[in-house]
Structure 1
């Protein structure tokens, strides 16, 4: 919660860059709330993380009011298209397959690699049992790799599968897994990083073109004034890819 407040204080310095296209319209921001540091539920029961800070700032710049909604990952796209919320801002990589169902804004996180994490450096990544969260670009990659895929509903379950011996390794976003390996000496990065996806963007219904352009303009303004890069470094560290 302290980090959320700190980020909000930094972004408040850029309030002069805001624009009021949204005229106070309320937008329901759909997220998973289970994928730190992208998004998670803090000790106060509130949505927190990089995407909470980013989303609030994007709404402020667009003159919109944000309301945050959490939804399980496996139904996050269907519940967007059915109208349960207006955006997905949940660490979702932009892919051609998803773009056939929903629209995306421009990316707000540049493409980053995915990595394997295991309990031993001699695991067989080519033909072993690999855990990944269901309906992700990582699970799709493993399904076509020749390895045995074990899918789980939540990212925490994929890591637990390695710890309890159900899987040889877990395959997920580098930013999610390195936070875990930093705190658990038994888990280690194995194999080579794998570049996947076209960066992370906000998902919107295909009929919401005007809203997409409002968020695109807000993302562009954050890229141009440097505040997006500052947030990326704050939440993901100095080695995170940033925008030129």
Structure 2
């Protein structure tokens, strides 16, 4: 009897100590409108994509996840302070950010684009019928989200080119401000921009220039993780590799976007 009782007691001890219990992660999801932020829920577009991806990564890692929706600028602070274990804000990996948080393996690739009305594009295009070139844009009022790579780029060039930065915390109101003539363009990650204008009537707002990945405006996108937490890093990276290998990642992308993110 002792021969069978001892293993059972050991197993019970392990369970009570929590050794085999599932990890519990608090996950911050970036929002692009204040309505869903207040409701703590996400729906379609980029927000929905991030949520679907986060849930699948949690499932593959065997973790129990609690989800919260936050504005972009609050996610890195939350992860750095230990309030959240995963942060989905479509983050590019920069030296400044690496001092505060860790990063997962690459998830997808990002670039930045200008969005505006056809009238604004016509005013600022160097040639009739041509595209607006970000590198040569001057004298324009440009909306961007505070704390982003796009914001830092505009700050670096605003004085020399006479650019006026219209700083916002979320993208929700950007289309209305563009259509009201309060700004000329929005500079945002291309995927965020697509999600923002996809449901607008055709042609009211559009991409007005080519995608730009140089000058820190593009690159691989990562999930923010607690700095130095090897176990979370390993679990998340393995989950990313698994969903890419079996086609789940591509299925999630197709659910929200009509194009590849690779």
* Range of TM-score over shorter length: 0.7 to 0.9
Larger helix percent: 2
Whether 2:261 is the aligned partner of 1:241: answer yes
**8 Å contact 2:27–2:68 — kept in the other structure?**
yes
CA radius of gyration, larger in: 2
2:145 is aligned to: 133
TM-score by length of 1: 0.79
2:7 is aligned to: none
Equivalent residues in 2 for 1:133-152, closer than 5 Å: 133-145=145-157, 146=161, 147-152=163-168
Aligned partner of 1:186 among 182, 197, 204: 204
Structure 2, unaligned runs of 5 or more: 1-18, 125-136
Task: Say if 1:80 and 1:50 are closer, same or farther in 2 by CA, change over 3 A.
Answer: same
Aligned partner of 1:32 among 30, 33, 49: 30
Task: Say if 1:77 and 1:123 are closer, same or farther in 2 by CA, change over 3 A.
Answer: farther
Whether 2:49 is the aligned partner of 1:46: answer no
- How far the C-alpha of 1:27 sits from its partner, in A, is 0.3
- How far the C-alpha of 1:218 sits from its partner, in A, is 0.5
Aligned pair count reads 216
SS at match of 2:143: strand
Give distance in 1, aligned partners of 2:219 and 2:191: 16
SS at match of 1:117: strand
1:12 is aligned to: none
- How far the C-alpha of 1:163 sits from its partner, in A, is 2.1
2:101 is aligned to: 102
**8 Å contact 2:110–2:189 — kept in the other structure?**
yes
Structure 1, unaligned runs of 5 or more: 1-20
**8 Å contact 2:58–2:65 — kept in the other structure?**
yes
TM-score by length of 2: 0.74
2:175 is aligned to: 159
2:65 is aligned to: 66
Runs of 4+ in 1 over 6 A off after TM superposition: none
Q: Over the residues paired in the alignment, what is the CA RMSD in angstroms?
A: 2.5
